[in-house]
Amino acid sequence: MDRNTLLAFFLISIVLVLTPKYIELVSPTPDRVSTINEPSPDTTATPTAIKTNVAPIEIINKAPNPLNNSYSEEKSTEIITDLYSMVVSSTGGGTIKSFKLNKYFTSDSQAVELINNNNNLVLAGKDLDGEPLSLLGPWELITHNKNRTNNTQELIYKKEVFDGQFIYKNISFYQDNYLIDVGLDLSGIANNIYRDVSFGWGGGLSPTEKNLSDDLYYFNSYVYQGGELENLKVDTGDSENKRFNGEADWAALRTKYFAMAIIPKTPDHIESANLSGRGDSVEVYGASFVFDPTNKTDFRLYVGPLEYDRIKSLGVGLEAIMDFGWSFIRPISKGVLYALKKMHGFIPNYGFVLIVFAFLVKLIVYPLTKKSYQSTSAMQALAPEINSLKEKYKSNPQKLNQATMELYKARGVNPLGGCLPMLLQMPLLFALFQVFRTTIELRSEPFIWWITDLSSPDTIFLLPFNVPIYGNHVAVLPILMVISMFVQQKMMAGAAQQPQQKTMQYFMTGFFFLMFNGFPSGLNLYYTLFNVLTIAQQKLIPPDTQTA
């Protein structure tokens, strides 16, 4: 292995070592809040985030309901669509007790449940005396409409807040998408309450993945305001609130693969947006809006998977919460995802899709790898002459460098020619890492035999103890990957190797194994096959042919 190749692998190792920090930069670790923050009376229309390090205020009605309503008992309604099954409670005028996705399952084959607790879709406000309104008790379910023509359902609730004065909430569900429309009508009590009324989601989202720490890593909360994405993420044991004054396009909570977003239909009715987070053992986030109750206010709710095309089709920029890497990486990541999904339309197994994809990428980067092999072969051919120069000018390093550069120039050899083509592939490496690890399309997708989830390591058994860096699982594909990498390095190194080169080769093999052991099996499958194709290229196309 020549010095240029060693430099290339050293640079790659630096990239991989810095990958966790990179992921943390582009996807900061979030936390969750199980409550909706009570807004401040100050609603100056300034797009400024106000941060407070106090515990979030739970919307709990401390004042007893002065009215003896006949609908004091909670009533639950089941809503079943093609995409989800949910239970809606009359408490709070239609809070969601359960939201199970019909097409996504946990590791024990149960439908994914997104509800952490039913502190969601709740209203909060104060009367003119500054006392909290009693809004969290059971509301009256006026009607449950089912429209078979357009496959929609609607729940309408009402609540008598003051004597003879009611508020209304209607919730509409659709058969073939994850959108839920929520209409709020507080005009009947608007003259008897403060104008600052909040509506939002305070119960966070439930973890769904077997690897809890990996799932929690992506938990976050966001507000999209003035064309900029703001977020709130708290550390374990901390609580924090942020208020963003002025209009806001939407607020969202996410886990690794799923999201909840509240989208005001009339953003100009919004006076401020609020995020809250509490870093318990399971993080909880909340998001709410403060609005003027004098007019009927409508919100659109999205609860479902983080599918790029689906959330982009909403047309509000919600796809900004997805992790596609740095700005120069994102187009490549989106292109990779698009290509994989298109191929999946013809090839039903994503494992075979990755095999075909590896062949296509190999064809695309063939000119780069060819150039790298040419440079490596040329440098190996010059090795005897370079060694002679070292012997001749061993006491004059400056003269040695000058003579070496003149030799490179005379033979038309670029000493960095073997490294640069490999470095040019780094953006693709990052893009593949982002797509394979964070996109829901590969979640729980099996390949063959023991590979049952391409988004997770292909673990065959667990160790009774945890090994630093390595973890506590034994996966097969990382072993195959580093074997193929080791063979590739041997072929590139040629017959003669210095002892330090051999040491570096063994070190890099072990280092890559530790790193890739925790990577998704889809990524390891791709790189294993890519290495095998590279070995085949080196074996079938001799250096003299490649330099032709």
Report if residue 449 sits inside a domain: yes
pLDDT of residue 493: 61
What's the confidence (pLDDT) of residue 14?
A: 52
Both tokens of 227, joined, read 């064309």
Residue 14 shares a structural domain with residue 114? no
Question: Which of 3-17, 261-275, 370-384 is least confident?
Answer: 3-17
Q: Per-residue confidence at 254, pLDDT binned at 50, 70, 90?
A: very high
pLDDT in tens, 136-167: 889 999 999 988 778 899 999 999 999 889 99
Q: What digits encode the pLDDT tens for the residues 25-64?
A: 444 433 333 334 433 334 333 444 544 433 333 333 333 3
Higher pLDDT, 242 or 547: 242
11 and 59 assigned to the same domain: no
Do 408 and 509 share a structural domain?
yes
| Tally of domains within the chain | 2
For the segment 462-517, what is each residue's pLDDT rounded down to a tens digit? 777 776 666 677 888 988 888 888 887 777 665 555 666 667 777 777 777 877 88
Chain mean pLDDT for the chain:
79
CB atoms within 10 A of CB 498: 12
410-to-3, 402, 403, 406 alpha-carbon distances in Å: 20, 12, 10, 6
347 and 317 both lie in a single domain:
no
237: confidence class by pLDDT, cuts 50, 70, 90? confident
Kindly give, in sequence order, each residue whose CB lies less than 8 Å from that of residue 374, ignoring residues fewer than 6 positions away: 417, 543, 546, 547
Mean pLDDT of the region 120-140: 89
Residue 496 included in any domain: yes
Neighbours of 395 (CB within 10 A): 7
Residue 197 and residue 173 in contact, taking contact as beta carbons nearer than 8 Å: no
Instruction: Categorize the per-residue pLDDT at 382 as very low, low, confident or very high, splitting at 50, 70 and 90.
Output: confident
Report the pLDDT averaged over residues 237-263: 93
Q: How far is CA 479 from the centre of its chain?
A: 27
Segment 181-207 shows an average pLDDT of 91
Give strand pairing partners of 232.
Answer: 221
Widest Cα–Cα separation across the chain: 103
pLDDT score at 500: 66
**pLDDT at residue 20 tops 70:** no
Q: Answer yes or no: do 310 and 343 share one domain.
A: no
Same structural domain, 235 and 355:
no
| Together in a domain, 8 and 59 | no
The residue-averaged pLDDT of 443-459 equals 87
What is the secondary structure of 206-274 as a DSSP string? ----SSHHHHHHT-EEEEEETTEEEEE---TT-EEEEEEES--SEEEEE-SSEEEEEEESSGGGEEEEE
> pLDDT at position 522, please?
87
273 within domain boundaries: yes
69 lies in a domain? yes
| Average pLDDT estimate for 375-403 | 76
Query: Does 162 reside within a domain?
Result: yes
Task: Give me the torsion for CA of 390, 394, 396, 402, rounded to 10°.
Answer: 0
CB-based contacts of 507: which residues, under 8 Å, 6+ apart? Answer: none
Last residue of a domain, one of 322, 350, 366: 322
Query: Could you tell me if residue 327 is inside a domain?
Result: no
Structural domain boundaries enclosing 280: 28-322
The pLDDT of residue 544 is 53
Q: Tell me, what's the pLDDT at 46?
A: 41
Q: Report which of residues 135 and 500 the model is more confident about.
A: 135
Q: Which of 322, 345, 368 corresponds to the end of one domain? A: 322
Residue 342 lies in a domain: yes
Q: Are residues 397 and 459 in the same domain?
A: yes
SS (H, E, C) 470-520: CEEEEECHHHHHHHHHHHHHHHHHCCCCCHHHHHHHHHHHHHHHHHHCCCC
At 459 the pLDDT is 84
Q: Are residues 435 and 337 both part of a single domain?
A: yes
| Span 78-85, average pLDDT | 94
Q: What is the pTM of this model?
A: 0.79
The domain boundary, picked from 322, 351, 376, lies at: 322
Give me the DSSP letters along 308-347.
HHHHHTTSSSGGGGS---STTTHHHHHHHHHHHHHHHTT-
**CB 333, CB 435: distance < 8 Å:** yes
474 vs 340: which has the higher pLDDT = 340
Residues 272 and 347 in one domain: no
Q: What is the mean pLDDT of residues 332-337?
A: 90
